[in-house]
Amino acid sequence: MAVKQIFISGLGAVSPAGWGVAALCAALNGATFPAGPRTEFSDRESSLRALRAPPLASRPSWAAHPRLRRASAISRFAMGASVEALNGRETNGRLGIVFCTTCGGVGYSRRFYDEALRDPETASPLLFPETVFNAPAGHLSSVLDSAAINYTLAGDSGVFLHGLALAADWLLEARVDACVVVAAEEADWIIADVLRHFRKSVTLGEGAGAVLLTREREANSRAVLERVTDSELVTPPGGKSARADAERRVVAALPPGPVTFPDAARLGEAFAAGAAWSVVAALETARRQRLARAIVCVPGAYQEAVGASFSMLGPEPT
């Protein structure tokens, strides 16, 4: 029988509020952060700040995997969110992975380029592999032990929603049995420097959000992916009113109901990861409040707006 529905069967998050969906939702619902997530980059001007994800309280088993020994923060965030979304599920080698990002592994990239500028003869070969956009995706496949298809998508914040659509296609075509879609970003002064050119009042954030999509309804399934809208391009890119226009067009294309937007004011601007947090939070809120739908609109940082809707599942028939 052809698969017609794609189920949302797991959620994961790492954010300045902590590791886990519960910490994310508590922060978005108004709880205060644990002490100390705000960072000033000590080697740069004091005006550059970020909301950082706190260190892990204890070392989970996946953190001991050799692939993650020198992995960047973005890889660890992606791993943490994905493992939470999988919730112990066996991958059977048929787990697809879609990794989404706007900025990528910028910390190692900046460090490596800095070394290369100082003296390319001594630039560290250990840093370079982690600069590649798909390094986190490769680590995920290796640690989660799946040889199935694995894509990295780069784009504006809404790239996470494009990732959901891509994963749904793979599942509908039976290329994979399940697929983790994860978006992650890491904070670095160079991105904080970029951000102040465009949105001075917004602080940079970091972390990851993940959604597990499955072809079959599972015990953890809580929603069905209803639709991902077309992209509405912001023209000219970055323009405030153009951004608002694109957002309006996306909202008009979505079903009626309360719409969740990324909350950069509370958790920092985390681009694709911020979009993933809004999906996770919308699904959690809809579950708690017994709403029929979760609806998300991601206006994007500079290029496009895109939206998605999810139909919430009732109790599984016995």
Give residues in contact with another protein (CB under 8 A).
Answer: 44-45, 67, 97, 102, 104, 109-110, 112-114, 116-117, 119-121, 123-125, 128-135, 137-139, 141-142, 145-156, 159, 162, 166, 169, 173-175, 190, 193-194, 197-198, 230-231, 233, 237-238, 302-304
Q: What is the Cα–Cα distance from 268 to 272, expressed in whole angstroms?
A: 12
How many residues are there in the chain? 318
Question: Rounded to 5 degrees, what angle do the CA atoms 151, 235, 228 make?
Answer: 40
Q: Is the CB of 233 or the CB of 313 nearer to another protein?
A: 233
CB of 289 to another protein, least distance (A): 32
Would you state the structure tokens that stand for residue 291, as one six-digit string?
A: 């709403």
Question: What is the closest distance, in whole angstroms, from the C-beta atom of residue 134 to another protein in the complex?
Answer: 4
For 55, the token pair is 């260190």
Residue placing its CB nearer to another protein in the complex, 119 or 316: 119
In sequence order, the β-bridge partners of residue 99 are 152, 182
Shortest gap between Cβ of 123 and another protein (angstroms)? 5
| Sequence-ordered alpha helix ranges (H) in the chain | 21-28, 73-86, 106-118, 128-131, 135-143, 159-172, 189-198, 240-253, 264-267, 271-288
**Cβ nearer to another protein, comparing 128 with 261:** 128
CB 155 within 8 A of CB 272: yes
Smallest gap from Cβ 108 to another protein, in A, equals 10
Cα distance between residue 225 and residue 296, in whole Å = 12
With b for 16 or more beta-carbon neighbours within 10 A and e for fewer, the 223-233 pattern comes to bbbbbbbebbe
Exposure pattern of 275-303 as b/e (b: 16+ CB <10 Å)?
bbbbbbbbbbbbeeeebebbbbbbbbbbb
Nearer to another protein, 55 or 125 (CB): 125
Q: Which C-beta is closer to another protein: that of 148 or that of 283?
A: 148
Give whichever of 220 and 226 is closer to another protein, judged by the CB atom: 226
- 236 upstream amide cis, omega within 30 of 0: yes
> What minimum distance in Å lies between the beta carbon of 199 and another protein?
11
Please tell me the distance from the alpha carbon of residue 18 to that of residue 112, in angstroms, as a whole number. Answer: 28
User: Of 84 and 156, which CB lies nearer to another protein in the complex structure?
Assistant: 156
Least spacing, CB of residue 244 vs another protein, in Å: 18
Nearer to another protein (CB atom), residue 19 or residue 170: 170
Tell me the closest approach of the beta carbon of residue 67 to another protein, in angstroms: 7
Rounded to a whole number of angstroms, the minimum distance from the CB of residue 201 to another protein is 16
Closest Cα partner for 53 from 211, 270, 290? 270
